[in-house]
Structure 1
């Protein structure tokens, strides 16, 4: 039998190398579909950051402070809103990423975003939060909004902030204590109240990528400690 020529050997090696460079279905690795890792709760896990901050905005304070600049969809007279989700923000232990490059579009399609208007009060806010913060989560738009809703559902708003029994004024640290009492596992080092113009403006809660409560020194240190904050009513 004749020995294989050098050209035949080279051709055979080339075919083998091309076969190894493809996935089982013949798709090159660069084009093969990837899947986001999931946590024990079945939610997709983000990447490229250390933890989340769930920012719950007291909607009447936002509408009062922003005035004519406030979002009309959120501040319409027929919307009696209390705490709403301002955003779910990926964070580093110090600082945070923002406006990250993403393969996802900048605009959140209305057919996706409108499913979350019960959690985030306007399409404008949903779009802004995706562009500034969600793009840094390592998630798709759909995954990010799913995790955002799950984060909100993880937090129990204290009964003291129910609209039918709303206190006129509140101590910032007492507001933190009320959230801690209503949410086992939450600690003083993992929550911060934000205030503006003497108003309760926001409560920020630190969460792991799998949405467990955790401490966050930088967020906690920047919290408000005013003893007499006004809590405006809706409308």
Structure 2
């Protein structure tokens, strides 16, 4: 009886040891197992989206550097042949030289109040426009003297850095479609200021009569002034419109 008990005890001990050893042996999944596998967690791949460019009623992109300290802009477009006939050729060879063929050029982009306008404002920006920056504007604003003067008198009141001001100026100019009446001027013509305003309104959707004013130098076309919001949408400007040319007819000198 004692011998059997001892033998049983040994057998039980062997089973315990065997189970322990088996538990330490690494197990491998059976070949062809249908158990689910879990992939390592991965960060999602994000494709950068392009910034949305909202389009305003006037067709310009709304992402425009926004100025401060005024109510709206006036884009003043000067009829270059009139300027050059008025002794301008002696003052600005970049605009009136014998090889120049300018029509409407940018006189300036003027910050305005609803009544009146600021000028020659204090600013931390330089007073002098660098030659490199000015040269990039010469296709629409010919003359470093003109560029520098407009920056000091008007640009300094925009609340913008110099580079941003001239960027907005170009954007405003490129917003406006010049009508054929001022593109095909190989010979002198005559038309009423109202007819010229009508041509701008027709070719520029969203432009109202209260947002554009044609001015005259005696009997000749002098400037076309168009009013913009800070975001470069066309907007009404009663004070500017009130100073439009009141002649029944004006002369448009030809582009040389």
- Which TM-score bucket, shorter chain as reference? 0.7 to 0.9
Structure 1 stretch displaced more, 128-137 or 39-48:
39-48
CA distance in 2, matches of 1:166, 1:176: 20
Instruction: Give the deviation of 1:222 after TM superposition.
Output: 0.8
1:61–1:164 distance in 2 versus 1, CA, 3 Å: closer
Which of 153, 173, 177 is the aligned partner of 2:198?
177
CA distance in 1, matches of 2:225, 2:201: 12
Structure 1 stretch displaced more, 66-75 or 220-229:
66-75
- Calculate the aligned-residue CA RMSD, in Å: 1.6
Unaligned runs of 5+ in 1: 1-38
* Runs of 4+ with >3 A deviation: 66-70, 163-167
Match of 2:226 in 1: 205
What pairs with 1:176-195 in structure 2 (closer than 5 Å)? 176-195=197-216
TM-score between the two structures when normalised by the length of structure 2? 0.74
State which structure, 1 or 2, has the greater radius of gyration over its C-alpha atoms: 2
Match of 2:144 in 1: 123
User: Does the 8 Å contact 1:189/1:220 carry over to 2?
Assistant: yes
Instruction: Give the deviation of 1:234 after TM superposition.
Output: 2.5
Instruction: Report Cα offsets for 1:137-156 as digits up to 9, x if no partner.
Output: 00011000000000000000
Which of 104, 117, 121 is the aligned partner of 2:125?
104
Instruction: Report Cα offsets for 1:130-171 as digits up to 9, x if no partner.
Output: 000000000011000000000000000001111356661110
1:70 maps onto 2:91 in alignment: yes
Instruction: Report Cα offsets for 1:52-106 as digits up to 9, x if no partner.
Output: 0000000000111244653121111101100000000000000000000011111
